[in-house]
Structure 1
Amino acid sequence: MRKPNAARDQLLHDLRNAYEGGASIRTLVASTGRSYGSIHSMLIESGTPLRGRGGPNHRRRVP
């Protein structure tokens, strides 16, 4: 098990705040240089409620 690390705790806090403020995981990947999987894992670790997948997947059909 890892020892508590102040720098890691700060990163988790910053990632959570950015994500809850509307940043996407991919935006966080670009800004930190870490992998998608590591950012996703850190958000889960910090207790961040993740948003559902977005995008133009659910368009209305026009008759």
Structure 2
Amino acid sequence: MARKKLGVDLKRAYDKGASIRILAEGWGCSYGFVHRLTEAGTALRSRGGDTRGRPVA
């Protein structure tokens, strides 16, 4: 149960724009653990960070 709650909390932070590396560092988890957010139904962003809201040239 604790793992599921952690997954939900990490998913929420990721959806708000936090990077996998920042989440792993802040929550004391491995990069691989956080990357498995897809288990919680998260669509991972492509490499290069959050590009939502940036103007298109």
TM more than 0.5: yes
Name the counterpart of 1:58: none
Could you tell me which residue of structure 2 aligns to residue 50 of structure 1? 44
List, as ranges, runs of 4+ consecutive aligned residues in structure 1 with deviation greater than 3 Å: none
Structure 2: runs of 5 or more not aligned: 50-57
Matches within 5 A, 1:1-63: 6-41=1-36, 43-54=37-48
Per-residue CA distance 1:6-58 (angstroms, 9 max, x = gap):
211110110000000000001101111111111101x1110100000016xxx
Identity within the alignment, %: 55
Q: TM-score scaled to structure 1, two decimals? A: 0.71
Q: TM-score normalized by structure 2?
A: 0.78
Structure exhibiting the larger radius of gyration computed from Cα positions: 1
